[in-house]
Amino acid sequence: MAEQMLGRPVAEALYAEVAKRVGALREEHVHPRLALVRVGEDQANGSYERTVLKRADEVGIAVEVRALAADVNKLALYADIEGINADARTHACLMFRPLPHTLDEMTACNMIASEKDVDGVGAASLAGVFMGLPEGFAPCTAEACVRMLDFYGVELAGKHVVVVGRSLVVGKPAAMLMLARDATVTLCHSGTTGLPEIMRAADIVVCATGNARTFGAECFCAGQVVLDVGTNIDADGVFCGDVDFAAVEPVVERITPVPGGIGAVTTAVLLQHVVEAAERTR
């Protein structure tokens, strides 16, 4: 039976640190503030929004929700982002995605000032991750993977990490963050041939594909550490990861469950980025 790497203790440790840093900032009359931009109503974002609001409140971070109509035109969205960029009281901006197809998501992402881009969606933030420069912020879920391993004492240096999924939200930045920590990284995708064999050769496997329970016992072996980033709803309406947990958990050494794994850490990393954005303004 594998040891389950739960997200909650990792998140709680991060929240405790964030609350302390918020307290220190307040003594200097700096009040960390996040602007949350939402276009239209989306069920998945709705639950993430409620979690962010609750957790931010608990650690003393103010959140301003800027809800825009689903049919907002692109100029109004851009004006909203520019308003956030220009507002010295607001340290951070989180824009929920995907945006409606009528809007140009890449342009909107790149409009967020890099020093407020706490979700790491703009080109400057991604350049920072890829170049190892302190520009913007890393995408929260990619960083959450590294935080999870650090918390549970899993060393990255010298390890072979296989990342399955190459999006700019998770796979690519996670690969770069782990490479920066001296892991040897193999980045896989839907065109990878012999994927189970490649996965079995890893010390650490990160699954971020968005396919419910796709990776079974044939993809893993004893001694491995598995991070399951996937958040999927299966055919029966059950929330699950990319990994077939019941089949894989008896095989590997450590594994993150879904729910209860990476997701909780992602929100904590977001709020840590907000406090850091506020600290950088001092």
Contacts with ligand NDP by CB under 6 A lie at 141, 164-167, 169-171, 188-192, 195, 208-211, 214, 229-232, 262-263, 266
CB of 75 to ligand NDP, least distance (A): 27
CB of 229 to ligand NDP, least distance (A): 4
Nearer to ligand NDP, 25 or 34 (CB): 34
CB of 73 to ligand NDP, least distance (A): 26
Residue 259, preceding peptide bond in cis (omega within 30° of 0): yes
Report the length, in residues, of the chain: 282
Nearer to ligand NDP, 25 or 149 (CB): 149
How far is the C-alpha of 128 from the C-alpha of 54, rounded, in Å?
Answer: 30
How far is the C-alpha of 22 from the C-alpha of 159, rounded, in Å?
Answer: 35
Q: Which residue is nearest to ligand NDP (CB)?
A: 167
Nearer to ligand NDP, 265 or 277 (CB): 265
Give start and end residues of each alpha helix (H) in the chain.
7-27, 43-59, 74-86, 105-111, 123-131, 140-151, 171-180, 195-200, 245-248, 262-280
Residue bearing tokens 């990255």: 156
| DSSP reduced 3-state for 34 | strand
Residue 32 CB contacts under 8 Å (≥ 6 apart), including other chains = 22, 25, 60, 61, 62, 91, 92, 274, 275, 277, 278
Position 153, amino acid: G
Nearer to ligand NDP, 111 or 169 (CB): 169
CB of 94 to ligand NDP, least distance (A): 13
Q: How far apart are the first and last CA of the chain?
A: 48
CB of 268 to ligand NDP, least distance (A): 11
Nearer to ligand NDP, 25 or 163 (CB): 163
CB of 76 to ligand NDP, least distance (A): 26
CB of 160 to ligand NDP, least distance (A): 17
Nearer to ligand NDP, 11 or 25 (CB): 11
* Ordered strands of the 92-95 beta sheet: 62-68, 33-39, 92-95
Nearer to ligand NDP, 25 or 161 (CB): 161
CB of 83 to ligand NDP, least distance (A): 27
Residue 32, preceding peptide bond in cis (omega within 30° of 0): no
Residue bearing tokens 């990476």: 262
Nearer to ligand NDP, 31 or 160 (CB): 160
